[in-house]
Structure 1
Amino acid sequence: MDTRVLKYFIAVAKLGNVTKAAEQLHITQPTLSRQINELEKEIGVDLFDRVNHRLVLTKSGALFQQRAQTILDFILQTKSKLQNQDNDLSGTIRLGCVESSVSIFAMNMIEKMQRKYPHIKFDIYTANGNDLKEKLDQDLLDLIILIEPIEAAKYHYLQLPNKDQWGLIVKKDSKLAKKDSITAKDLYHIPIAFTKRNLVRDELIDILKLDANKLNLRSTHNLAGNSLLLVKSGLFSMVSIKGILDVYNSEGLSFIPFKPFTLANHITAWKKNSYLSPATEKFIQLIAEEINFVPKK
């Protein structure tokens, strides 16, 4: 199957119209129609339904679009990695990063890298730890920065010096905002939002000795931004790291630490037994030097 045909299919899927897609691709409409028909014959399923002069993806078509885009992205990434082997270090580093106080560290490292190697570019992907690990496992990211814990057997990693405090984010005029610390007992009496990442939730529940069945869990999230808006509305409070307030607008919000005092550690991780481009290896080396990491002999 020609990758050119995959590009044709994706263009038609996005625009829902062969004529518009043909114009965008700079080919004739009959040629594009023939290519799509031949693709459907080759695969053996209908990729589109024809509805009111529009092409709408079938269920099979939607799945094929996802896989086709992954294939094209992988080819592009492979070309980029091969280009990175040049002596003049260049190419793109695909970096995934959580939202926390570590974001400042990550952006500072990117700045240092680009000042030293101006031909290197970064594709920055922001998500929670589960999403980042999934993208790393699928070779859609080269390197990720996230909050522990992590499955150590699957990855190489460096522990970063950045630590963040766990606690509760509440509206400033709430009763809880007057407290010096939050205990497990406090959490049982309020509606809360919590991270979607099970490993982190389970660790916090264990550290704080929470009874998960007593929690009034009203919302989960992968990123905190939208949930913070609901905290500002007074609808609920959010279990979170303090560094979230460094990333988002914290006006009208207060952070109260947990008791016992609970810290989140950060790491940067990459897949074991996976090819790393020279640019990515150099970036890892730069991070190691920044944190004064000495490999074990």
Structure 2
Amino acid sequence: MAGTMVSTQAEDMLTRDRSGAPVSPTEPGYEAIAAIIEHAKQVRAELNAGYHTPERTHELFEELVSHPVDPTFRLNAPFRTDFGRNEHDTQGAVKRGREGGDHTEYGHADRAAAQTGSFAKAGHRLHISTPAVAKQINTFEKEYGLTLFDRSRSGVQLTKAGKEFVEDAQMIVRQCEESLRRAQRRSTDGIATVRLGVSILRPGRRILDLWQRDAGKHTDIRLELVSMPDDSEAINDIITHLGEDVDLISTVFDTGYWDDTGNTLALDSEPLCVAVPRNHALARRARLTLKDLEGTRIRILKRHRGANDTARDLLEQYPAIDLIDIDHYDLDTFNDCAESGDLLIPEPVWAGIHPQLVNVAVDWPEPVIMHYGLLYPLDATPVIRAFISRIAALSGLTDSPHSTIQEVFASALPFGDVRTAPERTNRAAEHQ
């Protein structure tokens, strides 16, 4: 592998850089660092030049970072970095999330720290070390004579000046992104783009399968996949600003839950199940009664509304079932259950998300149903509405959809007609 042998001095500089300490080009041995940078440019150029299989992408990235990379790692080009070997997280598994691109930009660190209230959590979101986050923010504050954060042992909090700065920065970023989107739309020869947010817990497979079924018939719309994180703060921010970075999210929802935030198109309804570790005795059962669950620990969302609350009410009637509150779902939740032996009340579409957990049906005494479908903006653009209408038609929900952007413009019908589950979905829910 090119460029992997470096001096002890260079290794020391790499270690200091990863910890957030400064490194000077005038230091002895920096020539080795310069060689690494040059090699990183070559690998980065190859990564960003054309299509590569996932295996080749993984191979190139391991060459770039010079250490083994988690097999589940995914990278969406284009990719930018300074010299590659500082690309890592505390587990050694390199990942890229919603921020994408060059995560050494100060704005990303400031905004992430403001949203999470912690340099450590900001580093986790950006997939860089806590000292690196602190270094970026400290350097920015020193360079411009600002104090953006009050630091304490309990975390960080924005100062008054920091709040105003972050609000202004977010507005500027969104304006720039919108300008970029307008320019991209003008350069696509009339082909409009719809962006579907995807993540480990929201992979969008059903939507992609439906869209592929109609391949070649929707030449006026391009479907673009946008990588999203699964942590609750980031996903809630994306949903609040639907139509900016992401147009659509395929997800599970209760009727009416997102009414103040976005429109929904319900494509299916499914009863809640229970996720059981594969080595658990209940994992071998085809169906479970609530009495079967006695003596187990079950993780379930805190009480808020909808189907999860119905499930909680039914489970609480069995004192021998130990219910453990969780704030949200993420991959760590699934990992913890697999390791601890706890059961989990998951969203129905998450079968197969974790290899050590299996979904088992539950005989609920009453319907415990959630809808699956698309979440999209309240003020959806014509192209988003055309996409929604086409997906509804492909699912058999409508007979005469507005399948093109032009037809959506021409239609006088209120488009809200397709935002909720059709009658056949409601009937299916009644018979669950």
Q: 1:119 to 1:182 in 2, by over 3 A?
A: closer
273, 287, 296: which one aligns with 2:391: 287
**Counterpart secondary structure, 2:375:** strand
Q: Aligned pair 1:243/2:243, yes or no?
A: no
Instruction: Please identify, of 140-149 and 118-127, the stretch whose mean Cα deviation from structure 2 is larger.
Output: 118-127
95, 99, 108: which one aligns with 2:197: 95
Q: 1:70 to 1:185 in 2, by over 3 A?
A: farther
Q: 1:233 to 1:84 in 2, by over 3 A?
A: same
Deviations 1:242-261, CA, capped at 9 Å, x for gaps = 532323324xx433211127
CA drift at 1:266: 0.8
Residue 267 of structure 2 contacts residue 395 of structure 2 at CA under 8 Å; is this kept in 1? yes
Structure 1 unpaired stretches of 5+:
1-6, 22-31, 41-45, 51-56
CA drift at 1:182: 2.6
Residue 172 of structure 1 contacts residue 254 of structure 1 at CA under 8 Å; is this kept in 2? yes
Residue 184 of structure 1 contacts residue 209 of structure 1 at CA under 8 Å; is this kept in 2? yes
Mapped to 1, the partners of 2:317 and 2:326 lie a distance apart of: 17
The equivalent of 2:179 in structure 1 is 79
Mapped to 2, the partners of 1:17 and 1:158 lie a distance apart of: 42
The within-5 A match list for 1:107-126 is 107-109=208-210, 116=219, 121-125=224-228
Structure 2 unpaired stretches of 5+:
1-103, 111-132, 399-414, 419-432
Mapped to 2, the partners of 1:284 and 1:196 lie a distance apart of: 32
**Counterpart secondary structure, 1:16:** helix
Q: Aligned pair 1:191/2:297, yes or no?
A: yes
The equivalent of 1:10 in structure 2 is 107
**Counterpart secondary structure, 2:345:** strand
Residue 106 of structure 2 contacts residue 137 of structure 2 at CA under 8 Å; is this kept in 1? no
Read off the aligned partner of 2:226 and give its amino acid letter. Answer: D
After TM superposition, the score normalised by the length of structure 2 is 0.47
Mapped to 2, the partners of 1:65 and 1:112 lie a distance apart of: 47
Deviations 1:31-64, CA, capped at 9 Å, x for gaps = x94xx24xx4xxxxx32689xxxxxx87327645
The equivalent of 1:29 in structure 2 is none
Higher RCO (CA-CA < 8 Å; seq separation 6+): 1
After TM superposition, the score normalised by the length of structure 1 is 0.64
The equivalent of 2:362 in structure 1 is 258
The equivalent of 2:281 in structure 1 is 175
Read off the aligned partner of 2:342 and give its amino acid letter. Answer: F
Deviations 1:193-221, CA, capped at 9 Å, x for gaps = 22458334213235x46449875233525
Count of residue pairs the alignment pairs up = 261
Read off the aligned partner of 1:108 and give its amino acid letter. Answer: D
Residue 81 of structure 1 contacts residue 277 of structure 1 at CA under 8 Å; is this kept in 2? no
Identical aligned residues as a percent: 11
Answer 1 or 2: which has greater strand percent. Answer: 1
Read off the aligned partner of 2:336 and give its amino acid letter. Answer: L
Mapped to 2, the partners of 1:8 and 1:128 lie a distance apart of: 21
